[in-house]
Amino acid sequence: MLKEMDEDFTAVAKRFSNSHAGINVAVQLLPNEELKASVIRSAVQAVAPDIIIISSDNVGYARLMQLSELPDSMAIANLAKGVQLALQFEKKNYALPLFAGNHLLLMYNKKWVNQPVTDWQQLFDQHTSFAAKGVKTLALNYQEPYWFALFADLFGAHLIKDNAVNLNTVQMQQALSFYKTLVQRGVSQIECGYHCVSEAFYQGQFAYAINGSWALADARQRLGDNLGVAAFPGWQSRQIKPHASYIVMIFPHHSLQGAKATQIKQFVQYFRQHDNLQALADKHYLTPYFNSDSAVSATGDTLYKQVLAQTQQSQLMPASEAMVSVWNGMQKGMLLHQANTLNAAEAAAFMQKVAQRDQQLLAAGL
């Protein structure tokens, strides 16, 4: 579950529990990686959560998490064909969609930026002037592969191909070299992490930050009218299409077929009422699964429109074992390249080796 939405999800659960005697819904927040590990470990412990709210690409763990396939009564008929296919695991429905628009964004502080850059060279050029003001240029969660994937896309790398990991490419080598240049030229810092792209940015220490749409409500609250959102800069006529996902409900360890199935379905129906989802979406700059882009475009919120523009330029990750297998290998290769242990070609080959092994283990149910 997303920590930025924890209080809101808890409030919905509390309202449900108060209005449904005998059903008490407990909400627990776990970071993404810890959540996956916890659910997988609990396969033999009978202590798994009944419902998980998570990004849709994680449905690629359907076998390990022993997810319930959705019954026909819970199927969503009006999703766009491409979305429906992306949410399916091996042509079966395990994920109940809540929101679209879960991806990275380029944010900037209008106190330091009059006109956002449209090209990475412009950012390199502006670095000196920001430094003269005591301001850092770009807050980037540098060692996280999801952030690096933006630059892999910038150079035309496809992380998966024909339902298999696809990391050992010339494009990946180019992305690794460019990514390293950001630090070498002082535009970003290798030690920059989650605190950097949020709190340090909110405090005005950075002109730009790349963070998720999930953090936008916090950013707006902290920066107010000084917060801007822009399209990602291009490079040599290439543009970034960030990897996106839906926020979905899944049901581990076959909970929809278990003893609490009736109560689970009652809560799901309550949680997914249009008024509940719309209120959450409005607060967190997301798009409810039942809204079209045109309906969202009708809003008068300029920031919301900027987010939607980036959403329309994003690429929806498939819910596949190949997709969830890329991240571990990517991170290991990135770190070895950043430490000068491997050159770009060696790092890309190492990424592929690790990711292939991870995909094979997943396919074997390990």
Q: Is 203 exposed, middle or buried (0-12, 13-18, 19+ CB in 10 A)?
A: exposed
Predicted local distance difference test score (pLDDT) of residue 26: 76
The tally of CA atoms less than 13 A away on the side-chain side of residue 169 is 16
Predicted local distance difference test score (pLDDT) of residue 24: 81
Q: Is 143 exposed, middle or buried (0-12, 13-18, 19+ CB in 10 A)?
A: middle
Predicted local distance difference test score (pLDDT) of residue 365: 76
Phi-psi region of 340 (alpha: psi -120 to 50; beta: other; left: phi over 0): left
> Can you give the pTM of this predicted structure?
0.91
Sign of torsion over alpha carbons 68, 72, 78, 81? positive
Contacts of 31 (CB under 8 A, 6+ apart): 3
Q: Which of 206, 207, 205, 212 is nearest to 144 (CA)?
A: 212
Per-position DSSP letters for 265-283, written without gaps between them? HHHHHHHT-HHHHHHHHHH
**The token pair that represents 51 in the structure block:** 């419902």
Alpha-carbon 205 to chain mean position: 24
Q: Which of 245, 189, 249, 251 is nearest to 214 (CA)?
A: 245
The DSSP bridge partners found for residue 250 are 52
Phi-psi region of 119 (alpha: psi -120 to 50; beta: other; left: phi over 0): beta
Predicted local distance difference test score (pLDDT) of residue 1: 46
Averaged over successive runs of 10 residues, the pLDDT of the chain (366 residues) comes to 74 87 76 64 65 92 91 82 91 94 96 96 95 97 97 97 96 98 96 96 98 93 96 94 95 90 92 92 89 57 86 93 95 97 98 96 83
Structural domains of the chain, with CATH: 3-102+244-316 (3.40.190.10), 104-242+319-363 (3.40.190.10)
The tally of CA atoms less than 13 A away on the side-chain side of residue 366 is 6
Whether the CB-CB separation of 348 and 169 falls below 8 Å is answered with yes
